[in-house]
Amino acid sequence: MSAVPAPKTAVPARPLAHPPTTRAIYAALRREIVTLALMPGTKLSENELSLRFGTSRGPVREALIRLGEDGLIDVMPQRGSFVGRLSLPDIERARFVREALEIAVVRRAAESGLPHRHRLAAEASLEAQGTAGIDAETFIDLDDAFHAGFADGIGLAGVWAIIEREKTQFDRIRFLSLPAATPIPVLIAQHRAILAAVLDRDAAAAERAVRDHMAEVLKIVSDLPVRYPDLF
């Protein structure tokens, strides 16, 4: 059994509006939960968060409600709000939704063709991924930009917004496991296979490449509950 990993270094949030909005507070806390700067089980105090963000408790409470609706925090009567633990059913649902939507996106991109500027952006993202090293946060941001580019390229950026909303639990697993579970060069090679299939206008190959890529999460999840039982 592995020790519970130390919290990640908190990600500096973009400067919040003055006074900060519920949306800004929600975004800052969501990122910290997803990147494991706020670990599962951490208690979230409305008073402390209000002081941190320099606002009243109202916007903080509303942000916590939204995070609860996303399944990222648990509200326990008489005890308070806590960062939610990782849930295998939620992770599987996120993987299923992401795989289904991404397959539809890359098939459409292969069939209709990817605009030149989106091809250049994808290639630039791959190049940057190769220089990200073991910085999980930088790599995952580049990874997301790469995948989002296909939806944007076919005029369906809103589909990526759905994926982004659904894959939160999936992302927490990614931050917990990288780079140990799947070597980053393997992920980059899979990205190259997806892009090559799209550029070859081979929808079937693009679908296979996405399925291979999404299968990595099954490898990631298999032993993490045993290694980190306190997080699940």
Cα separation, 70 vs 218, whole angstroms: 22
**Ordered strands of the 43-44 beta sheet:** 43-44, 80-83, 73-76
Are both 48 and 126 inside the same structural domain?
no
CA-derived radius of gyration, the chain: 19
Cα separation, 98 vs 32, whole angstroms: 22
Q: Kindly tell me if the per-residue pLDDT of 133 is higher than 80.
A: no
Tell me how many domains the chain contains.
2
Q: For 145-157, what is each residue's pLDDT tens digit? A: 999 999 999 999 9
Are both 134 and 204 inside the same structural domain?
yes
Quick check: is 6 in a domain?
Answer: no
Query: Tell me, what CATH number does 60's domain have?
Result: 1.10.10.10
Q: Give this prediction's pTM.
A: 0.80
Query: Tell me, what CATH number does 136's domain have?
Result: 1.20.120.530
Quick check: is 4 in a domain?
Answer: no
The single-letter DSSP state of residue 230 is G
23-28 contacts: CB < 8 A, separation 24 or more?
23/63, 25/49, 25/53, 25/55, 25/59, 25/60, 25/63, 26/62, 26/63, 26/66, 26/67, 28/53
Q: Kindly tell me if the per-residue pLDDT of 9 is higher than 50.
A: no
Quick check: is 197 in a domain?
Answer: yes
Q: For 160-188, what is each residue's pLDDT tens digit? A: 989 888 888 888 888 877 656 667 888 89
Are both 64 and 107 inside the same structural domain?
no
Are both 100 and 185 inside the same structural domain?
yes
Cα distances (angstroms) measured from residue 90 to each of 78, 165, 188: 26, 12, 26
Q: Kindly tell me if the per-residue pLDDT of 217 is higher than 80.
A: no
Q: For 41-56, what is each residue's pLDDT tens digit? A: 999 999 999 999 999 9
The residue range of the domain holding 204 is: 88-231
Are both 43 and 135 inside the same structural domain?
no
